[in-house]
Amino acid sequence: MRVLVLTDYYPLKLLLGQMSVLIGQDWASIAAANFLAAKELGLTELNLVRAVTEKNSIKEVQKMGEGFISSCFAKHRLLVWNYFPFLRGGSECEGAAGLPDPSNPLWLSYCDRLLAQFLRCVDAAEVILAI
């Protein structure tokens, strides 16, 4: 099993803005379905889909039909792990403003412990850091 460790994720303020549009709906399921259908992809998601499917065009990926992206993840035995906890605590999507308070390094050791536990649980043979 390979684990791709991503270090970028939406901060709380952007996530809440998106969630307010989806009140009463399962927004996580909607986001996963959109990703697996190659719809509404951000730059990180776009690059990940293109790499895992080995296709240059998202239109080409979408033409391959339902289940294509998930089958590519399975073929490559690839799991994705977000290094930072879900609500990363910052105010921006990238850079220092997107990180929790640097004067308190406990969040970093917490992230390390969670990643180590996950890697043990899935018996990862390879870890790819996408920083």
* Domain residue ranges of the chain, discontinuous segments joined by +: 2-130
d(CA 123, CA 120) in angstroms, rounded, equals 5
pLDDT digits (tens, 9 = 90+) for 73-105: 999 999 988 887 654 555 566 666 666 777 777
Instruction: State residue 83's pLDDT score.
Output: 80
Calculate the dihedral angle through the C-alpha atoms of 57, 63, 68, 70, rounding to the nearest 10 degrees.
60
Minimal CA–CA distance to 48: which of 96, 8, 12, 97? 8
Bridge-based pairing of strands 78-82 and 2-6 is parallel
> Which parts of the chain sit beneath pLDDT 70?
8-23, 27, 85-99, 131
